[in-house]
Structure 1
Amino acid sequence: MSASRTPVSVAVAAAATLLLSACTSGGVSGGGGDTNFIMGKDGISTVEKGKRDPAPDLSGKTIDDQQLSLSSYKGKVVVLNVWGSWCSPCRAEAPNLEKVAKDLQPQGVQFVGINVADPQVRSARAFEEQYGVTYPSLYDPSSKLMLRFKKGTLNPQAIPSTLVIDREGKIAARSLAGLSEAKLRKMIAPVLAEK
Protein backbone atom coordinates (compact mmCIF):
# COMPACT_ATOMS: atom_id res chain seq x y z
CA MET A 1 0.00 0.00 0.00
CA SER A 2 1.43 3.37 -0.93
CA ALA A 3 1.85 6.12 1.67
CA SER A 4 -0.59 8.34 -0.21
CA ARG A 5 -3.37 5.80 0.19
CA THR A 6 -2.97 5.35 3.95
CA PRO A 7 -5.17 8.32 5.02
CA VAL A 8 -7.92 7.14 2.69
CA SER A 9 -7.68 3.61 4.11
CA VAL A 10 -7.92 4.95 7.65
CA ALA A 11 -10.97 7.05 6.69
CA VAL A 12 -12.62 4.05 5.04
CA ALA A 13 -11.93 1.91 8.13
CA ALA A 14 -13.42 4.61 10.37
CA ALA A 15 -16.47 4.89 8.14
CA ALA A 16 -16.90 1.11 8.19
CA THR A 17 -16.67 1.10 11.99
CA LEU A 18 -19.30 3.83 12.22
CA LEU A 19 -21.55 2.00 9.80
CA LEU A 20 -21.24 -1.24 11.75
CA SER A 21 -22.26 0.59 14.90
CA ALA A 22 -24.78 2.72 13.03
CA CYS A 23 -28.20 3.22 14.44
CA THR A 24 -27.40 1.39 17.64
CA SER A 25 -28.47 2.37 21.09
CA GLY A 26 -24.87 3.40 21.75
CA GLY A 27 -21.99 2.09 23.78
CA VAL A 28 -20.85 2.79 27.29
CA SER A 29 -17.14 3.30 26.79
CA GLY A 30 -15.31 6.41 25.76
CA GLY A 31 -12.24 4.94 24.16
CA GLY A 32 -10.56 3.47 27.23
CA GLY A 33 -8.14 4.83 29.76
CA ASP A 34 -8.77 7.54 32.35
CA THR A 35 -11.48 9.45 30.56
CA ASN A 36 -12.70 11.89 33.27
CA PHE A 37 -16.32 11.36 32.25
CA ILE A 38 -19.21 9.50 33.76
CA MET A 39 -22.24 7.87 32.17
CA GLY A 40 -25.59 8.69 33.74
CA LYS A 41 -28.49 6.24 33.96
CA ASP A 42 -30.04 8.17 31.06
CA GLY A 43 -27.16 7.18 28.74
CA ILE A 44 -25.69 10.69 28.72
CA SER A 45 -21.99 10.97 29.53
CA THR A 46 -20.77 14.21 31.12
CA VAL A 47 -17.49 15.82 32.11
CA GLU A 48 -17.18 18.41 34.84
CA LYS A 49 -15.92 21.84 33.91
CA GLY A 50 -12.14 22.03 34.16
CA LYS A 51 -11.64 18.38 33.10
CA ARG A 52 -13.01 18.66 29.56
CA ASP A 53 -11.11 18.02 26.35
CA PRO A 54 -11.25 20.52 23.49
CA ALA A 55 -13.40 19.65 20.52
CA PRO A 56 -11.41 19.38 17.31
CA ASP A 57 -11.83 22.18 14.82
CA LEU A 58 -14.29 20.61 12.45
CA SER A 59 -14.61 22.48 9.20
CA GLY A 60 -15.59 21.95 5.62
CA LYS A 61 -18.48 22.28 3.22
CA THR A 62 -22.05 22.02 4.38
CA ILE A 63 -24.69 20.04 2.54
CA ASP A 64 -25.75 23.42 1.10
CA ASP A 65 -22.22 23.95 -0.28
CA GLN A 66 -21.30 26.68 2.21
CA GLN A 67 -18.06 26.80 4.19
CA LEU A 68 -18.43 26.15 7.94
CA SER A 69 -15.95 26.00 10.82
CA LEU A 70 -16.97 24.91 14.29
CA SER A 71 -14.44 27.34 15.78
CA SER A 72 -16.52 30.27 14.49
CA TYR A 73 -19.09 29.42 17.22
CA LYS A 74 -16.67 29.77 20.15
CA GLY A 75 -18.45 31.65 22.93
CA LYS A 76 -21.70 29.78 22.20
CA VAL A 77 -22.90 26.44 23.47
CA VAL A 78 -22.77 24.13 20.43
CA VAL A 79 -24.87 21.00 20.02
CA LEU A 80 -23.18 18.75 17.47
CA ASN A 81 -25.30 15.95 16.03
CA VAL A 82 -23.86 13.17 13.84
CA TRP A 83 -26.52 11.74 11.53
CA GLY A 84 -27.26 9.93 8.29
CA SER A 85 -30.38 10.09 6.15
CA TRP A 86 -30.57 6.27 6.16
CA CYS A 87 -30.61 6.04 9.98
CA SER A 88 -34.00 5.39 11.64
CA PRO A 89 -33.10 6.86 15.07
CA CYS A 90 -31.77 9.95 13.23
CA ARG A 91 -35.14 10.39 11.56
CA ALA A 92 -36.93 9.94 14.90
CA GLU A 93 -34.82 12.54 16.72
CA ALA A 94 -34.66 15.16 13.92
CA PRO A 95 -37.89 16.99 14.91
CA ASN A 96 -36.70 17.10 18.55
CA LEU A 97 -33.35 18.57 17.56
CA GLU A 98 -34.96 21.21 15.35
CA LYS A 99 -37.49 22.26 18.01
CA VAL A 100 -34.83 22.64 20.71
CA ALA A 101 -32.49 24.41 18.27
CA LYS A 102 -35.13 27.05 17.55
CA ASP A 103 -36.09 27.40 21.22
CA LEU A 104 -32.51 27.83 22.49
CA GLN A 105 -31.00 29.89 19.66
CA PRO A 106 -31.88 33.21 21.43
CA GLN A 107 -29.92 31.95 24.47
CA GLY A 108 -26.71 31.48 22.48
CA VAL A 109 -27.03 27.80 21.56
CA GLN A 110 -25.95 26.82 18.04
CA PHE A 111 -26.82 23.43 16.56
CA VAL A 112 -24.56 21.92 13.89
CA GLY A 113 -25.00 18.59 12.16
CA ILE A 114 -22.47 16.28 10.60
CA ASN A 115 -23.99 14.19 7.84
CA VAL A 116 -21.94 10.98 7.52
CA ALA A 117 -21.93 8.04 5.13
CA ASP A 118 -24.46 9.52 2.71
CA PRO A 119 -22.69 9.02 -0.65
CA GLN A 120 -24.94 11.56 -2.38
CA VAL A 121 -25.55 14.99 -0.92
CA ARG A 122 -29.08 15.03 -2.33
CA SER A 123 -30.07 12.36 0.23
CA ALA A 124 -28.89 14.63 3.04
CA ARG A 125 -30.70 17.63 1.54
CA ALA A 126 -33.93 15.61 1.18
CA PHE A 127 -33.66 14.53 4.84
CA GLU A 128 -33.27 18.14 6.03
CA GLU A 129 -36.17 19.26 3.86
CA GLN A 130 -38.45 16.43 5.03
CA TYR A 131 -37.74 17.09 8.73
CA GLY A 132 -37.53 20.89 8.53
CA VAL A 133 -33.93 21.06 9.74
CA THR A 134 -32.74 24.67 9.51
CA TYR A 135 -29.34 24.55 11.24
CA PRO A 136 -26.22 23.84 9.13
CA SER A 137 -24.75 20.37 8.63
CA LEU A 138 -21.24 19.57 7.47
CA TYR A 139 -21.25 17.04 4.63
CA ASP A 140 -18.84 14.21 5.49
CA PRO A 141 -19.64 11.20 3.28
CA SER A 142 -16.37 9.41 4.16
CA SER A 143 -16.65 10.15 7.93
CA LYS A 144 -13.17 11.74 7.99
CA LEU A 145 -14.28 14.37 10.51
CA MET A 146 -14.77 11.63 13.13
CA LEU A 147 -11.03 10.91 12.96
CA ARG A 148 -10.30 14.38 14.36
CA PHE A 149 -11.62 13.40 17.81
CA LYS A 150 -8.93 12.11 20.16
CA LYS A 151 -9.29 8.60 21.59
CA GLY A 152 -10.40 8.65 25.21
CA THR A 153 -12.48 11.80 24.84
CA LEU A 154 -16.23 12.10 24.57
CA ASN A 155 -16.02 11.31 20.87
CA PRO A 156 -18.96 10.28 18.69
CA GLN A 157 -18.93 6.48 18.39
CA ALA A 158 -22.27 5.67 16.79
CA ILE A 159 -24.84 7.15 14.48
CA PRO A 160 -26.61 9.08 15.82
CA SER A 161 -24.31 10.72 18.36
CA THR A 162 -24.88 14.11 19.94
CA LEU A 163 -22.26 16.21 21.73
CA VAL A 164 -22.66 19.38 23.74
CA ILE A 165 -19.66 21.69 23.45
CA ASP A 166 -19.27 24.43 26.05
CA ARG A 167 -18.60 28.12 25.39
CA GLU A 168 -14.84 27.48 25.57
CA GLY A 169 -14.99 24.89 22.79
CA LYS A 170 -14.67 21.87 25.09
CA ILE A 171 -16.76 18.69 25.02
CA ALA A 172 -19.11 18.67 28.03
CA ALA A 173 -21.63 15.90 27.26
CA ARG A 174 -22.37 13.08 24.84
CA SER A 175 -25.21 10.76 23.92
CA LEU A 176 -24.74 7.74 21.64
CA ALA A 177 -28.43 7.26 20.91
CA GLY A 178 -31.38 9.08 19.42
CA LEU A 179 -32.68 11.73 21.83
CA SER A 180 -36.14 12.72 22.95
CA GLU A 181 -36.77 16.43 23.36
CA ALA A 182 -36.67 16.04 27.17
CA LYS A 183 -33.33 14.19 27.18
CA LEU A 184 -31.82 16.71 24.78
CA ARG A 185 -32.89 19.63 26.96
CA LYS A 186 -31.57 17.83 30.07
CA MET A 187 -28.23 17.33 28.31
CA ILE A 188 -27.89 21.00 27.29
CA ALA A 189 -29.27 22.75 30.41
CA PRO A 190 -26.26 22.35 32.76
CA VAL A 191 -23.81 23.57 30.11
CA LEU A 192 -26.05 26.50 29.19
CA ALA A 193 -26.28 27.46 32.88
CA GLU A 194 -22.48 27.69 33.21
CA LYS A 195 -20.98 31.15 33.43
Structure 2
Amino acid sequence: MNPEPEPAPVKARAPLLFLSESFRQRKINMLDGGSFRLADFPGKVVVINLWASWCGPCRREVPEYEKVRQAYAGRNVEFIGLTTEDPRTSAGRVRKFLRKTNFSFRLGWADGETAHTLMNGEEAIPQTLVIDAGGRVVDRWSGYIPHHSGDKLTAAINQALETVTSAGCAL
Protein backbone atom coordinates (compact mmCIF):
# COMPACT_ATOMS: atom_id res chain seq x y z
CA MET A 1 0.00 0.00 0.00
CA ASN A 2 1.37 3.36 -1.02
CA PRO A 3 1.15 5.98 1.79
CA GLU A 4 1.35 8.80 -0.73
CA PRO A 5 -2.00 10.25 -1.78
CA GLU A 6 -3.01 9.61 -5.37
CA PRO A 7 -2.97 12.74 -7.54
CA ALA A 8 -6.27 13.83 -9.06
CA PRO A 9 -6.75 12.71 -12.64
CA VAL A 10 -5.66 15.26 -15.22
CA LYS A 11 -9.26 15.44 -16.46
CA ALA A 12 -10.45 16.82 -13.11
CA ARG A 13 -11.43 20.45 -13.43
CA ALA A 14 -12.56 23.07 -10.98
CA PRO A 15 -16.29 23.63 -11.26
CA LEU A 16 -17.46 26.46 -13.45
CA LEU A 17 -18.83 28.89 -10.89
CA PHE A 18 -19.16 32.14 -12.79
CA LEU A 19 -19.47 33.35 -16.38
CA SER A 20 -17.29 36.42 -16.82
CA GLU A 21 -18.67 39.63 -18.26
CA SER A 22 -16.41 39.23 -21.31
CA PHE A 23 -17.85 35.75 -21.91
CA ARG A 24 -21.40 37.06 -21.48
CA GLN A 25 -20.61 39.72 -24.11
CA ARG A 26 -19.66 37.08 -26.73
CA LYS A 27 -21.91 37.00 -29.77
CA ILE A 28 -23.87 33.77 -30.24
CA ASN A 29 -25.30 33.14 -33.69
CA MET A 30 -28.93 32.07 -33.74
CA LEU A 31 -30.15 29.13 -35.79
CA ASP A 32 -32.60 31.37 -37.65
CA GLY A 33 -30.00 34.08 -38.36
CA GLY A 34 -29.28 37.06 -36.17
CA SER A 35 -27.37 36.84 -32.94
CA PHE A 36 -27.60 37.49 -29.22
CA ARG A 37 -25.32 37.73 -26.19
CA LEU A 38 -25.92 36.29 -22.74
CA ALA A 39 -25.50 39.88 -21.52
CA ASP A 40 -28.70 40.75 -23.42
CA PHE A 41 -30.71 39.37 -20.49
CA PRO A 42 -29.86 41.60 -17.50
CA GLY A 43 -31.72 40.73 -14.32
CA LYS A 44 -32.79 37.37 -15.72
CA VAL A 45 -32.03 33.80 -14.79
CA VAL A 46 -30.64 32.06 -17.88
CA VAL A 47 -31.08 28.34 -18.50
CA ILE A 48 -28.69 26.97 -21.13
CA ASN A 49 -29.13 23.52 -22.60
CA LEU A 50 -26.30 22.16 -24.78
CA TRP A 51 -27.59 19.57 -27.23
CA ALA A 52 -27.20 18.00 -30.67
CA SER A 53 -29.76 16.69 -33.15
CA TRP A 54 -28.16 13.23 -33.23
CA CYS A 55 -28.21 12.87 -29.41
CA GLY A 56 -30.99 10.55 -28.19
CA PRO A 57 -30.99 11.82 -24.58
CA CYS A 58 -31.06 15.41 -25.89
CA ARG A 59 -34.17 14.62 -27.92
CA ARG A 60 -35.86 12.88 -24.96
CA GLU A 61 -35.47 15.85 -22.63
CA VAL A 62 -37.04 18.45 -24.97
CA PRO A 63 -40.63 17.86 -23.69
CA GLU A 64 -39.49 18.22 -20.04
CA TYR A 65 -37.68 21.48 -20.77
CA GLU A 66 -40.64 22.81 -22.73
CA LYS A 67 -43.00 22.12 -19.78
CA VAL A 68 -40.67 23.96 -17.43
CA ARG A 69 -40.28 26.85 -19.88
CA GLN A 70 -44.06 27.21 -20.08
CA ALA A 71 -44.33 27.17 -16.28
CA TYR A 72 -41.93 30.14 -16.08
CA ALA A 73 -43.45 32.12 -18.97
CA GLY A 74 -43.70 35.79 -18.05
CA ARG A 75 -41.08 35.48 -15.32
CA ASN A 76 -37.46 36.62 -15.45
CA VAL A 77 -36.18 33.35 -16.89
CA GLU A 78 -34.66 32.99 -20.35
CA PHE A 79 -34.30 29.52 -21.91
CA ILE A 80 -31.55 29.03 -24.48
CA GLY A 81 -30.74 25.89 -26.44
CA LEU A 82 -27.25 25.77 -27.95
CA THR A 83 -26.37 23.03 -30.38
CA THR A 84 -22.78 21.87 -30.35
CA GLU A 85 -22.99 20.89 -34.02
CA ASP A 86 -21.05 22.72 -36.73
CA PRO A 87 -23.37 24.97 -38.76
CA ARG A 88 -21.22 24.47 -41.88
CA THR A 89 -21.92 20.74 -41.96
CA SER A 90 -25.04 20.23 -39.83
CA ALA A 91 -27.45 23.09 -40.55
CA GLY A 92 -29.81 20.95 -42.64
CA ARG A 93 -29.89 18.11 -40.12
CA VAL A 94 -30.45 20.52 -37.22
CA ARG A 95 -33.32 22.31 -38.99
CA LYS A 96 -34.94 18.97 -39.88
CA PHE A 97 -34.69 17.91 -36.23
CA LEU A 98 -36.23 21.20 -35.06
CA ARG A 99 -39.23 20.77 -37.37
CA LYS A 100 -39.98 17.50 -35.51
CA THR A 101 -39.60 18.87 -31.99
CA ASN A 102 -41.27 21.38 -29.75
CA PHE A 103 -38.35 23.72 -29.04
CA SER A 104 -39.98 27.10 -28.51
CA PHE A 105 -37.09 28.93 -26.90
CA ARG A 106 -34.08 30.83 -28.22
CA LEU A 107 -31.76 28.55 -30.22
CA GLY A 108 -28.16 29.17 -31.17
CA TRP A 109 -24.94 27.60 -32.37
CA ALA A 110 -22.33 26.99 -29.67
CA ASP A 111 -19.03 27.64 -31.41
CA GLY A 112 -16.00 25.72 -30.16
CA GLU A 113 -14.92 28.28 -27.57
CA THR A 114 -18.44 28.81 -26.24
CA ALA A 115 -19.08 25.06 -25.95
CA HIS A 116 -15.67 24.46 -24.35
CA THR A 117 -16.23 27.19 -21.74
CA LEU A 118 -19.75 26.07 -20.87
CA MET A 119 -18.82 22.38 -20.77
CA ASN A 120 -15.84 23.19 -18.55
CA GLY A 121 -13.86 20.26 -19.93
CA GLU A 122 -16.69 17.71 -19.73
CA GLU A 123 -17.27 16.83 -23.37
CA ALA A 124 -20.71 15.26 -22.98
CA ILE A 125 -24.22 16.27 -23.96
CA PRO A 126 -26.84 17.05 -23.01
CA GLN A 127 -25.60 19.55 -20.46
CA THR A 128 -27.66 22.08 -18.58
CA LEU A 129 -26.56 25.22 -16.76
CA VAL A 130 -28.74 27.50 -14.65
CA ILE A 131 -27.15 30.94 -14.30
CA ASP A 132 -28.36 33.67 -11.98
CA ALA A 133 -28.68 37.32 -12.98
CA GLY A 134 -25.12 38.04 -11.86
CA GLY A 135 -23.55 35.33 -14.02
CA ARG A 136 -23.09 32.79 -11.20
CA VAL A 137 -23.67 29.17 -12.20
CA VAL A 138 -26.26 28.04 -9.66
CA ASP A 139 -26.37 24.45 -10.92
CA ARG A 140 -25.16 22.37 -13.83
CA TRP A 141 -25.41 18.76 -14.84
CA SER A 142 -24.66 16.41 -17.68
CA GLY A 143 -26.99 13.85 -19.10
CA TYR A 144 -30.71 13.30 -19.12
CA ILE A 145 -32.30 12.11 -15.90
CA PRO A 146 -35.56 10.39 -16.92
CA HIS A 147 -38.60 11.69 -15.02
CA HIS A 148 -36.42 13.94 -12.84
CA SER A 149 -34.93 16.49 -15.23
CA GLY A 150 -37.93 18.80 -14.89
CA ASP A 151 -37.84 18.64 -11.08
CA LYS A 152 -34.09 19.26 -10.96
CA LEU A 153 -34.40 22.14 -13.42
CA THR A 154 -37.29 23.72 -11.48
CA ALA A 155 -35.36 23.54 -8.20
CA ALA A 156 -32.29 25.16 -9.77
CA ILE A 157 -34.36 27.93 -11.39
CA ASN A 158 -36.13 28.65 -8.10
CA GLN A 159 -32.77 28.86 -6.33
CA ALA A 160 -31.50 31.30 -8.98
CA LEU A 161 -34.69 33.38 -8.73
CA GLU A 162 -34.22 33.61 -4.95
CA THR A 163 -30.73 34.95 -5.61
CA VAL A 164 -32.18 37.58 -7.94
CA THR A 165 -34.83 38.55 -5.36
CA SER A 166 -32.37 38.74 -2.46
CA ALA A 167 -30.03 40.90 -4.57
CA GLY A 168 -32.85 43.40 -4.97
CA CYS A 169 -33.50 42.90 -8.66
CA ALA A 170 -37.09 43.47 -9.69
CA LEU A 171 -38.89 40.37 -10.87
The alignment's TM-score, normalised by the length of structure 1, stands at 0.66
Show CA shifts across 1:21-44 (max 9, x none): xxxxxxxxx9435x4x8xxxxxxx
User: Within 2, Cα distance between the matches of 1:116 and 1:150?
Assistant: 10
- Would the aligned equivalents of 1:121 and 1:139 in 2 still touch at CA under 8 Å? no
The structure whose Rg is larger is 2
Show the counterpart of 1:32: 13
Show the counterpart of 1:192: 161
- Name the SS for the 1:75 alignment partner: coil
Alignment partner of 1:91 is 2:59: yes
What one-letter code is carried by the residue in structure 1 that aligns with 2:73?
Q
- Name the SS for the 2:83 alignment partner: strand
Alignment partner of 1:72 is 2:40: yes
- From 71, 83, 91, give the equivalent of 1:121: 91
Q: Which runs of 5+ in 2 are unaligned?
A: 1-10, 166-171
Alignment partner of 1:54 is 2:49: no
- From 124, 131, 141, give the equivalent of 1:158: 124
User: Within 1, Cα distance between the matches of 2:122 and 2:47?
Assistant: 12
Aligned length in residues: 147
- Would the aligned equivalents of 1:75 and 1:169 in 2 still touch at CA under 8 Å? no
Q: Which runs of 5+ in 1 are unaligned?
A: 1-29, 38-51
- Would the aligned equivalents of 2:85 and 2:109 in 1 still touch at CA under 8 Å? no
User: Within 1, Cα distance between the matches of 2:128 and 2:76?
Assistant: 18
Q: 1:31 to 1:104 in 2, by over 3 A?
A: farther
- Name the SS for the 1:89 alignment partner: helix
What one-letter code is carried by the residue in structure 2 that aligns with 1:193?
E
The alignment's TM-score, normalised by the length of structure 2, stands at 0.74
Show the counterpart of 2:6: none
